[in-house]
Every structure is written in C-alpha cells, then in structure tokens.
Structure 1
C-alpha cells in the first residue's frame, strides 16, 4: 500500500468531502494492542482480539468543501516526525502529498478544525515551524486551548505538549476558540466529546438531510465498540471519555449517522450497530 497517495472522495449532501491519509503503518510497524489497553487483563484482551495482537492505526484527515471555503478536520503528524521512533518517519507525514494527488491546495485552505490538540492531530499544521496553511483560520474548543496553555503535569499529556502549544502560538489571533453545540462553519457543528482531552470535540457535518459524525479519538479500534468501557493511556479523564463514547455511539447507531473515525483503517468511514449494550463496526470500503 502506498500510504502517501491514499484519498477517498464522497459527499454529505451538498458538502463535497475527501479523506486524505497522513499515513497508516502496516506490519511489522503496527502498534501493540497491549500498549493501547494496558489495564485490560491479558487473557481478556486475547479472547476479545480473536488472535489479533496489533492495532491498525490510521491518520485519516477529512477535507470538507463548505460555503465558506475548504476546511480540514485534523492534520496528522506532519513530516520529519520521530516521536515514536525513527521507523515512523517515512510512514507518516503524507498529508500534503495526498492533498496534491487529490487536487487540494494548502495555500487555499480556508479553515483548520481540530478535534483536539494532540500532536497526531495538530502537528501536520505546524511541523515546519510555521503554519502550513497560510490563509486558514484555526478552530479548537476553548477548554482545549486553555488546558494546553496552562501548566500541564499529567505524564500522558507530555508528548503532546510541544505541538499543542506551538499550534496555539503560531496561529495566534487566527485561532478561534469555540464552545460545544456551535456551528463553526456552514454545515459544520462542534459537539461535546470531552474526556480524551478536556476540550475533545466531535464534529457533525450536515447538509440536505445527510449527516457525518467525525469522532476524533472517541475510539481507536473496533474493540472499543464491543468493549465501550476500555480506555487508553491517553484518555486524560477515563470516566468522561467512556461517557462520551457511549453517548456518541448510541446517537450514531440510533440515528443511522455515518461515522468518520480518525484512527481506524483508511478511510475510517462506516456505521455502527447496537448489540445490546455494545456496538459493532461496519466499515465502508475504499
């Protein structure tokens, strides 16, 4: 698979959309499920995985053509990234190449919407030491901006601190904090999804009776649909993240809303179905 040239076009009503991959490491570089769910007993994890030991971690950035211009929801890790080890550098940072392949121009991008400011969602916008989308206005939840701007002592937050603060600094007055249940752009609304980070947001697209729910890091793997109480070490408030996950999954299942899942295998699009108190994932093939 050529991770640098993956893009997938679709539409939500009148909103033209493109998922562009920033990368999707394949075996032997897929991360271990034990690293994502260390609190789950080994035998329980093995039974739930049915022999699988790794997680396919994609970085699926969503472009949306709105009446106010082209916007992107989350921006990947960016080029020259070594934070997970040297092996990762050629496997991620593919966003701009994918944009070119898809006919998208970074110089014309009007808006960058962050579900949250973790480095794998924000660094793609600032990795060069300057904003990569020079005319874009940036949007992040007010609590997210406040959290990363203050003293951050939580160990699991430390790897993300530099990118978050640099994003806030570089965008400056062009960073617009928002509140939940706010229409950021025409047809683009922020929904509450706190827990993973204090201002973690879901993004709902809506046009002509069609909807798409971007869930950010509400879940990393389908295992968190069949086991909604499983949290990762990066969920800063685990109980809140579980509550957000249940709420969003219930709504998506009951209202038959298409989901965009940032970290699921490319393109990260699919539907969820209720199975009692749990859920199942039905991906849309690219």
Structure 2
C-alpha cells in the first residue's frame, strides 16, 4: 500500500510494512491492560461503545524527499519476522516491495530516522543481518541509543533488545545520536515525546506554511485519544508517556496539525479535535491528496 501527498515542497509517501486484517487483528485487551493502568470495566465499556474488540495495527513508514536526499521515518518489522507467532510472518515485511512500487530502491535512501528502537520500528533496517539501506545515515535520540546499549531486565523491553542493538551495531559510525529540538534534515525537526521509551521522538515536518507531525507510538489506537490517560504495557514510563500524549494532542488540536500515526489504519494520516478533555481522530480522505498542514 502506497499513499503520496505533500507538505509544502516536501514530497512524502507512506508505504505500509503490513496491516494485519481479520481474523489477525490484535485484541484490545492485549494493548490496554489492568497492569498498564486501564481498568477492565472501562475498556469493556469503551469497546462496547465502539462496537469492536480489536484494533487495526498498521505499520506506516513515512518517506520524505528532502534537499539532502530521500529519508524514511521507521522501517517496520522486516521480512521473516516470527516474534508475534507464525501467523504474522506473511502479513508484514512489505516495506521493500512497497518501496519498489513507489519507485524507490534500497540504495536511494540517504537517511533512516527512528522515532525509537522498538523492533516494529527498527528491525526492517537490519533484519537480514546487515543494513538494508547501504547509503543511509541513521538517526536515533541519544537517550534511546544509551538505553538499548545497556544491560536490560525489563520484561516489556526484552522483545525489542535484539532489533535495537542490531540497529546500533550495524549502522555503527553511521548512526547519529541527536537531541530533541535538533533539525535532523532540512525541514525535519525532532520533538520530545518521551515516556514510551526514553528517547521516543516525534518529528515535525515544516515547509513554507505547511506542517506535519509524525507521532510514532504516541498512541496506538483512537481509543487513546478518547482516553488519553490509557497507557500500554510497552510504555516504559507510564506517567511520562501520558504527559507527552496530552501535550502533543493539545498542540495538534489547537494548531490543526496534520498527523502521521504509525500504527493507525493505513495511511495513518489525520487530524485531531478537542472533545472536552479528550480528543477525536479525523482520518484524511484517502481519495484526495493532502495539501494543507
């Protein structure tokens, strides 16, 4: 799946690494658990209101044509992935095929920007045991690199260790740690969104009067907009993740920012509006090219 749009003079393409369909959509209660602070009765009530018990977990990788070359934000799970069970292997790892469909080759990439180093964002860059994009410089927040380089015993972090360390190891000197506030590439700015991981980063694209905010894993599902205090088992610092989510959603609603949400249904583009103390997701019309930010 490929979706083209623009942010000012920045040409953008969303390429899906996969989007499991029924019966393989994951249950809501795997993402929003009592252990993560979501009361079971509250989740059940929300699910009843929504008329669903699963969420559509997409893997939406964002390509940006900058004046310094082609960049991608996050790289999906990659091929031959079995970490969620055998069923997942044929459903993901679509990024490189999608790139070809969009007219890109692996050698075209000048930059890989990681919102964070969880396996579903980083493994696609190194799943074969080597960097899949040989000409690319990689970017990850300095705290992210430091965290995944140290010994870890947190159960929620352990599934991601191999992919995170592979990205750090395989990119080597071509991995550039950054700080929030930096302009990583022309028109691509790093925004603090910590809590999900220590260096979790949103990316603000700016060109002329137009903007797009790539939010990474700030939220997995529209239910985290109607219930912004809901965390997930993968949020390493629950309170910080909730604070980041609220701050970003308030900003996005007030400024009417166009958002790119990695895990929402393809292409993961939309805007949010306030509804009291909660928010509502408004997906873009996929039949129209997005022009305004």
TM-score between both structures, scaled by the size of structure 2: 0.95
- Deviation string 1:218-263 (CA, Å, 9 cap, x unpaired) is 0000000000000000000000000000000000100111000000
| Deviation at residue 78 of structure 1 after TM alignment | 0.1
Q: What is the SS of the residue equivalent to 1:110?
A: strand
User: Distance in 2 between the 1:166 and 1:192 partners?
Assistant: 24
Q: What is the SS of the residue equivalent to 2:243?
A: helix
| Deviation at residue 41 of structure 1 after TM alignment | 2.8
Matches within 5 A, 1:102-141: 102-141=102-141
User: Distance in 1 between the 2:229 and 2:41 partners?
Assistant: 17
* Alignment of 1:200 onto 2:200: yes
Number of matched residues?
281
Which residue in 2 is equivalent to 1:29? Answer: 24
User: Distance in 2 between the 1:48 and 1:214 partners?
Assistant: 26
User: Distance in 2 between the 1:224 and 1:167 partners?
Assistant: 29
| Deviation at residue 106 of structure 1 after TM alignment | 1.2
| Deviation at residue 276 of structure 1 after TM alignment | 1.1
Q: What is the SS of the residue equivalent to 1:249?
A: helix
Matches within 5 A, 1:264-279: 264-279=264-279
1:113 touches 1:138 (CA, 8 Å); kept in 2?
yes
User: Distance in 2 between the 1:152 and 1:198 partners?
Assistant: 13
Spell out structure 1 runs of 4+ moving beyond 4 A.
Answer: none
Unaligned runs of 5+ in 1: 1-5
**Alignment match of 2:44 (pick from 28, 39, 46):** 46
| Deviation at residue 56 of structure 1 after TM alignment | 0.2
RMSD of aligned alpha carbons? 0.6
User: Distance in 2 between the 1:105 and 1:274 partners?
Assistant: 40
Q: What is the SS of the residue equivalent to 1:11?
A: strand
User: Distance in 2 between the 1:285 and 1:223 partners?
Assistant: 20
Q: What is the SS of the residue equivalent to 1:159?
A: helix
| Deviation at residue 107 of structure 1 after TM alignment | 0.6
Which residue in 2 is equivalent to 1:3? Answer: none
TM-score between both structures, scaled by the size of structure 1: 0.97
User: Distance in 2 between the 1:104 and 1:133 partners?
Assistant: 11
Q: What is the SS of the residue equivalent to 1:231?
A: coil
Which residue in 2 is equivalent to 1:173? Answer: 173
